[in-house]
């Protein structure tokens, strides 16, 4: 048995004039989380749809759970769970009916399907809404029902296409908990996201794709090293204190870097940012700012945004050094 | 792992049993939706009633030279056929909407036969075609229609009607797979169903028509269906019309089921 639950090589798919996938290679080790990171239109959904047997690629090969996706899609379908980017719950059915239907299509006996549905609804905090039509659910509730639907059959490989888009921060963390829980139970999870933060929080490995091509495949740490890691951003209440803040933050700057006025795209002037190596920077910076009597209105650690990730990966230089 | 794999890869009871089970589960889904939105049944309840009233009372006198009661006897079996053909349009629209919403993506990612979601949806339409028959015959009798044959032939007429509906609706399913929006399904299907139902023997005796139109009426699948139902409800020859009708039904299935399945598979 191979250690790779997802193995795709040279996937290509064209829609009219758009080359959605332009030779994508992907691998995911059993029992891990792989995050596919990319901006709008990068080809994330297309890649997931190919792997989940919904779409035939023009070229390339893909194996999921060791089975050829193109030759034996039915066998693959018995081993995967898919939550697509757009909620695919049936609005006119209740939460329970949605999940029981899927259980029946997975050949569970109706009593088992009911039991599994109740268990999942409980787990996703939907027990109270179980008997209501899904069209009365909020966006977040639909999303959770959709996720529950992909877990009915205890899949070995789970595909989640932007599972947290549209969720509030608390529900997003809940979703992360669900993903981690699935992995402890032995599943492997491939998820797509537009946030490095999310990929960093969940994934063992990150694949960055852009315009249908893989531009990086690395561990979160490796990727962060390449794109410049954490940034500490501080906004003093009075803009006149910016020079003092610059001086204080220089003391916590990562080796070979220095603080600078924050010039990130769209940022309001008057903030200072500095690349740091870890959150211990806060232990030094916060007391120092206090001692200097500088009042701050904003102080936060940031991972590079997707923009910055792309900028540095495509330019080959950490974004910070370009400023 | 190998024993687990073996049970994983073989559906309970073999693939035919699995298709039946999955299609039944999916048909139940459609029926739940119908029960939740009864207004979706207007096209098989109120609409045929209005058509029947319109043609009996507004045009009936003129068409028949005053013999409204006699015209109703002639008209109702034909209108039943027309309503069946129209009743299938909604199916293609619903399937089209489901696909656009992504509901079918989920079914496609599950280990069910490719045809199961379509077969299930078609099977659930039995209820709509039965409704058409009950409404047409029930309301028809209220305004004076009388079955002149007997209970068994009438039952056979209902059975044939439902069966024909189930075959004819595959055209709508196919169109539902091809076009982008539910509105387009309706538009295209009306373009097909209107000439078929009006260019037939539903409303007038074929002998009153010009030659080229008679030719169209004769090659129209609605015509033998109407003749058969007429025979079964008010008397007259049945067997010869029934043979042609059954041949058309088989032909519709042979052509449009594969087309619909192919359209479904291609729809990414
Ligand atoms: N069915 C389709 N027909 C035509 N073009 C398509 C189709 N599906 C995707 N595309 C195009 O292929 C490209 C990749 O799309 P894809 O949905 O895979 O991107 P994505 O990375 O998932 O983006 P997003 O973050 O917006 O979801 C886009 O340019 C998109 O417009
Ligand atoms: Mg997408």
| pLDDT (tens digit per residue) in A141-188 | 999 999 999 999 999 999 999 998 878 888 888 889 989 999 999 999
Average confidence score pLDDT of chain A: 88
Q: At what angle are helices A95-105 and A110-123 packed, to 10 degrees?
A: 130
In chain A, what residues touch B25 (CB-CB under 8 Å)?
Answer: 101, 104-105
Burial, A95: exposed, middle or buried (Cβ in 10 Å; 0-12, 13-18, 19+)?
buried
Distance of residue B268 Cα from the nearest chain A Cα, in angstroms: 6
Task: Report the side by side order of strands in the sheet with A205-210.
Answer: A80-83, A157-161, A188-193, A33-37, A205-210, A213-218
Contact B205, B227 (CB under 8 A): no
Per-residue pLDDT, averaged over A296-313, amounts to 78
Q: Which atom of ligand 1 is nearest to the CA of A48?
A: 18
Interface of B with A in 1-40 (CB under 8 A): 1, 8-9, 11-12, 18, 21-22, 25-26, 28-29, 32-33, 36-37
- For residues B15 and B20, what is the distance between their CA atoms, to the nearest angstrom? 9
Mutate to test the interface with B, among A92, A162, A186 (most CBs of B within 10 A): A92
Give the pLDDT confidence of A11-53 residue by residue, as tens digits.
999 999 999 999 999 999 999 999 999 989 999 999 999 999 9
Report the top-level CATH class of A4-224: alpha beta
Do B105 and A84 lie within an 8 Å CB cutoff? yes
A73-87, A269-283, B52-66: range with highest mean pLDDT: A73-87
Distance of residue B26 Cα from the nearest chain A Cα, in angstroms: 8
Do A88 and B103 lie within an 8 Å CB cutoff? yes
Residue A70 Cα to ligand 2 midpoint, Å, equals: 21
- For residues B125 and B161, what is the distance between their CA atoms, to the nearest angstrom? 12
Per-residue pLDDT, averaged over A255-283, amounts to 78
Per-residue pLDDT, averaged over A277-287, amounts to 85
Report domain extents, chain B. Answer: 12-267
User: Long-range pairs for B194-200 at CB < 8 Å and ≥24 separation?
Assistant: B196/B85, B196/B220, B196/B221, B196/B222, B197/B81, B197/B82, B197/B85, B197/B86, B197/B222, B200/B78, B200/B81, B200/B82, B200/B226
Residue A143 Cα to ligand 1 midpoint, Å, equals: 20
Per-residue pLDDT, averaged over A228-239, amounts to 85
Give the pLDDT confidence of A126-149 residue by residue, as tens digits.
999 999 999 999 988 999 999 999
Q: If DSSP codes are grouped into helix, strand and coil, which group holds residue A298?
A: strand
Distance of residue A109 Cα from the nearest chain B Cα, in angstroms: 10
The β-bridge partners of A33 are: A189
Q: Which pLDDT does position A169 carry in this prediction?
A: 86
Q: Is the pLDDT of residue A320 over 60?
A: no
User: Long-range pairs for B62-65 at CB < 8 Å and ≥24 separation?
Assistant: B63/B203, B63/B204
User: Closest residue of B to A53, CA-based?
Assistant: B109
Contact B83, B91 (CB under 8 A): no
Higher pLDDT, B243 or A239: B243
Per-residue pLDDT, averaged over A307-319, amounts to 64
Among A309-323, B67-81, B149-163, whose mean pLDDT is lowest? A309-323
Is A230-302 assigned to CATH 3.30.70?
yes
Residue B104 Cα to ligand 1 midpoint, Å, equals: 18
Q: Which pLDDT does position A321 carry in this prediction?
A: 44
User: Closest residue of B to A75, CA-based?
Assistant: B9
- For residues B85 and B245, what is the distance between their CA atoms, to the nearest angstrom? 14
Give the pLDDT confidence of B165-203 residue by residue, as tens digits.
999 999 999 999 999 999 999 999 999 999 999 888 888
Q: Which pLDDT does position B268 carry in this prediction?
A: 60
């Amino acid at each position: 048995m191979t250690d790779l639950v997802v193995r795709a090589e040279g996937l290509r798919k064209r829609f009219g004039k758009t080359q959605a996938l332009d030779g994508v290679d992907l691998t995911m080790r059993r029992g891990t989380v792989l995050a596919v990171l990319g901006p709008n239109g990068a080809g994330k959904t297309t890649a997931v749809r190919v792997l989940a047997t919904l779409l035939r690629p023009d070229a390339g090969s893909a194996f999921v759970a060791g089975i050829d996706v193109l030759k034996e899609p039915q066998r693959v379908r018995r081993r995967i769970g898919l939550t697509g980017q757009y909620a695919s719950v049936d609005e006119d059915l209740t939460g329970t009916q949605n999940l029981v239907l899927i259980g029946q299509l997975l050949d569970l006996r109706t009593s088992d399907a009911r039991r599994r549905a109740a268990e999942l609804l409980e787990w996703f905090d939907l027990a109270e809404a179980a008997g209501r039509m899904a069209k009365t659910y909020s966006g977040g509730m639909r999303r959770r029902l959709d996720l529950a639907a992909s877990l009915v059959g205890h899949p070995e490989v789970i595909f989640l296409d932007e599972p947290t888009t549209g969720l509030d921060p608390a529900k997003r963390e809940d979703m992360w908990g669900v993903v981690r829980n699935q992995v402890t139970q032995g599943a492997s999870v491939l998820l797509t996201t537009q946030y490095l933060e999310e990929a960093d929080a969940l994934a063992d490995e990150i694949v960055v794709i852009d315009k249908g091509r893989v531009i990086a495949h690395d561990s979160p740490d490796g990727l962060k090293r390449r794109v410049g890691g954490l940034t500490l951003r501080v906004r003093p209440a009075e803009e006149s204190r910016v020079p003092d803040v610059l001086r204080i933050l220089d003391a916590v700057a990562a080796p070979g870097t220095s603080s600078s006025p924050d010039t990130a795209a769209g940022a309001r002037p008057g903030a200072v940012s500095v690349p740091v190596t870890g959150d211990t920077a806060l232990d030094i910076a916060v007391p120092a700012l206090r001692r200097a009597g500088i009042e701050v209105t904003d102080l936060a650690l940031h991972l590079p945004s997707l923009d910055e990730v792309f900028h540095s990966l495509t330019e080959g230089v950490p974004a910070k050094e370009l400023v | 792992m190998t024993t687990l794999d073996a049970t994983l890869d073989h559906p309970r009871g073999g693939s035919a049993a699995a298709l039946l089970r999955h299609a039944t589960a999916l048909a139940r889904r459609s029926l739940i939706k119908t029960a939740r939105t009864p207004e979706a049944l207007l096209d098989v309840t109120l609409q045929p009633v209005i058509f029947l009233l319109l043609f009996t009372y507004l045009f009936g006198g003129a068409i028949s030279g005053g013999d409204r009661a006699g015209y109703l006897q002639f008209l109702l079996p034909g209108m039943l056929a027309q309503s069946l053909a129209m009743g299938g349009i909604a199916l293609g629209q619903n399937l089209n909407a489901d696909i656009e919403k992504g509901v079918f993506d989920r079914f496609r990612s599950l280990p069910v036969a490719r045809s199961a979601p379509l077969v299930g949806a078609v099977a659930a339409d039995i209820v709509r075609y039965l409704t058409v028959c009950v409404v047409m015959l029930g309301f028809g009798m209220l305004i004076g229609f009388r079955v002149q044959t007997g209970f068994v032939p009438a039952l056979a007429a209902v059975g044939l009607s439902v069966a024909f509906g189930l075959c004819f609706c595959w055209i709508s399913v196919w169109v539902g797979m091809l076009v982008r929006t539910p509105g387009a399904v309706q538009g295209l299907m009306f373009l097909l169903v209107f000439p078929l139902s009006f260019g037939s023997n539903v409303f007038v005796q074929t002998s009153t028509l010009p030659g080229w139109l008679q030719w169209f009426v004769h090659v129209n699948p609605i015509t033998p269906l109407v003749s058969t139902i007429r025979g079964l409800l008010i008397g007259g020859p049945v067997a010869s019309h029934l043979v042609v009708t059954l041949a058309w039904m088989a032909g519709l299935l042979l052509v449009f089921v594969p087309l619909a399945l192919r359209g479904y598979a291609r729809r990414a």
